Amino acid sequence: MRNILLNLAYDGTNYSGWQIQPNGVTIEEKLMEAFRRMDGSKVKIIGSGRTDARVHARGQRANVHLNSSVPTERLPFALNAKLPPDIVVTGAREVPLDFHARYDALGKTYRYRLYTGPFPDPIGRNYQYHVKEKLEMEGLREALEILKGTHDFRGFMASGSSVKTTTRTIEHVEIRWRDGGTIDVYISANGFLYNMVRIIIGSMVDVAKGKITRAQLEEALKNQKRALAGHTAPPQGLFLEEVRYKL
């Protein structure tokens, strides 16, 4: 028995998220199917977290306990031969048997892509959030800086989520402006609540557009009031870039 940590990248456009569910094809389902097709292995896949429908990943991690004769270094090639082209295993390594991809994660980095311009981009529409209005850079930056540090982010969590604590630490934020009206926002934290990144991005956009004030954003954070924060940005602009572990 080996415990294998997988590195995964996928285009979430055609999937109903990570976790297996009754209706809709998921990333987890396709991975389990690939293991079965590889050599009959029936595995339980433990992801670092659940990405929603249409959310993408460049650095998702998952571990599996595996009884298989396929060498660890050959696993990515064997699995990729059985996976659809929009899901790729980019690495595999053996880890201690008690390692858990979710509970042992120290932090994650997400990237969210915005596209500003008068017209939608038909090529990039599945990988960015089109905002027609020009966004003021300082407004975006100020909104993001408010949220840095350790806070109770209950006001930036979608309803229906059950967690022990809503306190999280945003460790690093960065905004990168690219040619052609593309903006990439990077957020690193020790953990994220359900829809937290998308609500943060929606709030940034609303502050930059003048729909909500900086004071409202600060109150949403201070008093954990979801109604004072901005809208929830759509899923297709979100990418899970990295999951960090002490290994």
- Domain ranges within the chain, ordered by starting residue: 2-95, 107-244
> For the stretch 121-134, what's the b/e string if a residue is b when 16 or more beta carbons lie within 10 angstroms of its beta carbon?
eeeeeebbbbbeee
Catalytic residue among 11, 39, 52, 104: 52
Contact (CB, 8 A) for 17 and 56: no
Instruction: Tell me: pLDDT of 160 over 80.
Output: no
pTM of the predicted protein model: 0.96
Q: In angstroms, rounded to a whole number, what is the distance separating the alpha carbons of residues 11 and 86?
A: 5
Residue 50: CB atoms within 10 A of its CB come to 14
Residues 184, 114, 7, 18, CA torsion sign: positive
pLDDT in tens, 171-210: 999 999 988 899 999 999 999 999 999 999 999 999 998 8
**Per-residue confidence at 162, pLDDT binned at 50, 70, 90?**
confident
CATH for the 107-244 domain, from 3.90.1170.50, 3.40.50.150, 3.30.70.660, 1.20.1250.10? 3.30.70.660
Residue 200, H or E segment: helix 196-208
Q: Name which residue leads in pLDDT, 213 or 236.
A: 236
pLDDT in tens, 3-42: 999 999 999 999 999 999 999 999 999 999 999 999 999 9
Say whether 124 sits in a helix, a strand or coil: coil
Tell me if 2-95 shares its fold with 107-244.
yes
Q: What is the CATH number of domain 2-95?
A: 3.30.70.580
**Per-residue confidence at 1, pLDDT binned at 50, 70, 90?**
very high
Is 110 part of any known ligand binding site? Answer: yes
Tell me whether residue 52 is one of the annotated catalytic residues.
yes
Structure tokens at 101: 């991809």
At residue 66, the pLDDT reads 97
Contact (CB, 8 A) for 200 and 146: no
Q: Across the chain, what does the average pLDDT equal?
A: 95
At residue 180, the pLDDT reads 86
Structure tokens at 86: 């929009």
Q: Closest Cα to residue 27, out of 95, 87, 98?
A: 87
Q: Closest Cα to residue 229, out of 167, 118, 124, 147?
A: 147
